[in-house]
Amino acid sequence: DAGVIQSPRHEVTEMGQEVTLRCKPISGHNSLFWYRQTMMRGLELLIYFNNNVPIDDSGMPEDRFSAKMPNASFSTLKIQPSEPRDSAVYFCASSRAGEGAKNIQYFGAGTRLSVL
Amino acid sequence: KNEVEQSPQNLTAQEGEFITINCSYSVGISALHWLQQHPGGGIVSLFMLSSGKKKHGRLIATINIQEKHSSLHITASHPRDSAVYICAVRSPGTYKYIFGTGTRLKVLA
């Protein structure tokens, strides 16, 4: 399996622009997570989906952030408009729910976002 | 106070040394996860524990549920072990992780 695939790996944009990050989870996994990592705050959960349905979006910082999962093999995280404080590494992770202690989350390589 | 605390925050060791990284947590958990993040940024799962001890190669992870503490040990450390090691705990009945702030390990040749 190719693992969790994220694109792009790096994104540099100007303040005010729309940014879309993409994630393809591991085939057969039914839980998907978006995280943000910064030096100040470490890893933070933004949102997680179970069976394509958003279960917990309490970590989404504000209305500028939105996430969708139109099907089991694709998710997007969108920031509109972007701000310099959104600069961070964004990780997507997936897991197979229902296996008790075995439902390890597998992480993608991350998208490094720089908003100028 | 963070719900998941790691120590030390930074650690420099000489190649071959035995290394211990600690994780203490203050919440009830169903599992604890050790992750490794390489300088390039990728995150790799090392262990998931709910009790006892697990070993994989030179890595050993232990957990004491009563004391709410876990340790990650690296035997015969090598420069390629240089990375940030992150402890994450999962709350019962959810898939949410609470992350520690990580331990930055540097192993010198």
* pLDDT tens-digit series, residues B28-74: 998 999 999 987 778 888 988 889 999 989 999 999 999 999 999 99
A101 part of contact set with chain B, CB < 8 Å: yes
Nearest-CA distance from B44 to chain A in Å?
7
Give the percent of chain B with pLDDT over 70.
99
Q: Which residue has the higher pLDDT, A99 or B27?
A: B27
A103, A25 contact by CB (below 8 A): no
Residue listed under structure tokens 């993608």: A108
Phi (first) and psi of residue A11, to 5 degrees:
-145, 125
A16, A115 contact by CB (below 8 A): no
Q: What is the pLDDT of residue B94?
A: 74
Give the strand pairing for A88-95 and A74-79: unpaired
**Inter-chain CB proximity A102 and B100 less than 8 Å:** no
A114, A13 contact by CB (below 8 A): yes
* pLDDT > 90? residue B93: no
B30, B48 contact by CB (below 8 A): no
**In three state form, how does the secondary structure of B80-104 look?**
HHCEEEEEEEECCCCCCEEECCCEE
Nearest-CA distance from B38 to chain A in Å?
10
**Inter-chain CB proximity B45 and A95 less than 8 Å:** no
Residue type at position A98: G
Residues in chain A with CB shorter than 8 Å from the CB of B102 are: 42
**Inter-chain CB proximity A56 and B96 less than 8 Å:** yes
Residue listed under structure tokens 């690296």: B74
Nearest CA in chain A to B51: A101
Nearest-CA distance from B7 to chain A in Å?
15
Nearest-CA distance from A77 to chain B in Å?
18
A42 in the Ramachandran plot: left (φ > 0), alpha (ψ -120 to 50) or beta?
left
* pLDDT > 70? residue B12: yes
Nearest CA in chain A to B100: A42
**Inter-chain CB proximity A107 and B95 less than 8 Å:** no
Structure tokens at A63: 């209305």
Nearest CB partner across the interface for B41, out of A33, A106, A109: A109
* pLDDT > 70? residue A38: yes
pLDDT confidence band for A103 (50 / 70 / 90): low
